[in-house]
Amino acid sequence: MSSGHLVVRLAATSRFWGLAEYGRLAYDWLMTVDRPVLGILLMLGFCILAPVADSIAKLLGGTIPLLQLLIVRFGLQAVLLLPIILLGGRSFKMSTRAVWLTVARTVLHIVGVGAMFLSLRFLPLADAVAIAFVMPFIMLLLGRFVLDEEVGGRRLAACAVGFFGTLLVVQPSFSEVGAPALLPLLVAVDFALFMLVTRQIAKQVDPVSLQAVSGGMATVILLLIYGLTQATGVLETQLVVPDLSSGLLLVAIGVVGTMAHLLMTWSLRFAPSATVAPMQYLEIPVATIIGYLVFADLPNGLAAIGIVITICAGLYVVFREHAIARR
């Protein structure tokens, strides 16, 4: 190869890596700027995928032990995201503060998902999701009083209306359901704290890396729990070999659950938690539709009114945020 050709190739390589560096810097800038509308759209994706994962967990609840469901769910999360990180040259580097926040986030994630999966063994899908929807209201208050985010009176009023609609959907009857009806309330408080922690580290850590590390941490923690229960005999936690259909559903719950929470993490990088929290009310009608199609569960007239109220409150927040962003 002549020296002239070598110079041309070196110049082209330099330009390529220069463009790549500019692209990386543009990506880093994009992921650190609040963009409320994009954050809302990403949260909408989460609202669609999360009930799908819950419905799969409900289908598997009668045949697969809870601990095994969680191990597969989080194990697949780590396995699916690791190649993306390695091929994309993403960094695992975290500050000490981010590491500890990720540990806390992982524990909250395990508790929240576990409580939700357990509640679905006793409650209809739409009821479990609806009861858990105390969470956006809790999240809004945390954003206002803990993160000191700006929350106007109109958004607070819209969330209150959405919460009222949620109550119409819930129609709680603890005398019929018993103690398991409290599990979605645990989910609500847990995921409000989970989203609060996520918001604290979302702009410091790549979301894919965060999800991969969390999946790995959760898998290690759950395997340790399994080992301890087997060694001490405190709990009966035998694992089972699934048949083909259950095995495919186990894979699906890992894939769908991973994508859902990745969208949620991305949404919190683009918008304040107080902005995206009300959008999660849309999980209720999505869960209702899935519950009807898969389990033949359909809300009564009062619950349908509550769903409409909830959707209207969520859409109002979307238009309100869009108007604010244009000013």
Q: Examine the domain organization and report whether 18 and 79 are in the same domain.
A: no
Q: Examine the domain organization and report whether 185 and 61 are in the same domain.
A: yes
Contact (Cβ atoms closer than 8 angstroms) between residue 151 and residue 140: yes
Q: Examine the domain organization and report whether 147 and 281 are in the same domain.
A: yes
Q: Examine the domain organization and report whether 210 and 271 are in the same domain.
A: yes
Number of domains present in the structure of the chain: 2
Go through 97-120 and write b for each residue having 16 or more CB atoms within 10 A of its CB, e for each that does not.
ebeebbeebbbbbbbbbbbbbbbb
The answer to whether residue 8 scores a pLDDT higher than 70 is no
Contact (Cβ atoms closer than 8 angstroms) between residue 253 and residue 60: yes
248 is in which domain, residue-wise? 35-326
The answer to whether residue 12 scores a pLDDT higher than 70 is no
Q: Examine the domain organization and report whether 166 and 26 are in the same domain.
A: no
pLDDT tens column, 275-314: 776 777 788 888 989 999 999 887 777 777 877 887 788 7
Confidence band, pLDDT 50/70/90 cuts, at residue 34 = low
Better pLDDT: 85 or 248:
248
Nearest CA to 136 out of 180, 187, 90 is that of 187
DSSP 260-288: HHHHHHHHHHHS-HHHHGGGGGGHHHHHH
Least confident range of 23-27, 61-65, 241-245: 23-27
pLDDT tens column, 42-74: 888 998 999 999 999 999 988 899 999 999 999
Q: Examine the domain organization and report whether 2 and 99 are in the same domain.
A: no
Q: Examine the domain organization and report whether 10 and 112 are in the same domain.
A: no
Residue 298 CA to residue 124 CA, distance in Å, equals 10
Q: Examine the domain organization and report whether 216 and 306 are in the same domain.
A: yes
Q: Examine the domain organization and report whether 65 and 191 are in the same domain.
A: yes
Q: Examine the domain organization and report whether 295 and 313 are in the same domain.
A: yes
